[in-house]
Amino acid sequence: MAAEAERAEYQACADAVERTLERCPKVAQLREALRRLGRDIPVSCAPCPEPDKGKTPAAGGYMTDSSSIVMCQKWAAEMPSEVANTLVHELIHAYDDARAHIDWTNLVHHACTEIRAANLSGDCSFRRELNRSNISPLHISMAGQRCIRRRAQLSVVMLSLIHI
């Protein structure tokens, strides 16, 4: 039964990725920009580790060693409408890597690409922050900047923990 559920998750993820690759203009624009830099970034679905209790599950990631993007299949199966945003975010990392040759062990480089990805992908749009309950009527101004900073800090902290 578990294997059947995992296959269904994989197929739902693969379908969501395929729809996004075919229909999302931002994804198409970034993939074309990467092709002009000589990079074709494959996207695949795979099981990801379950997060600790109370933590947000991973959505996907740019794999620097293989220059590919892996989408977490359970997350993508449960949140297909979010796949486009995640792909855009990860494609921005791939673009930065292709263009600027990011040193992923350098926390300044990592922070820079996270800031760009959070800002350019729409991760920190007013609507998304409102849906996350991160905007209160008293703190509407600068909400996008606070989000970008928070998301970059979280990513850099996670990276620094991996390299300790």
Among all residues, which ones are annotated catalytic?
Answer: 90
**3-class secondary structure per residue, the chain:** CHHHHHHHHHHHHHHHHHHHHHHCHHHHHHHHHHHHCCCCCCEEEECCCCCCCCCCCCCEEEECCCCEEEEEHHHHHHCHHHHHHHHHHHHHHHHHHHHHCCCCCCHHHHHHHHHHHHHHHCCCCHHHHHHCCCCCHHHCCCHHHHHHHHHHHHHHHHHHHHCC
**Torsion sign across C-alpha atoms 82, 163, 147, 30:** negative
β-strand partners of 70: 44, 61
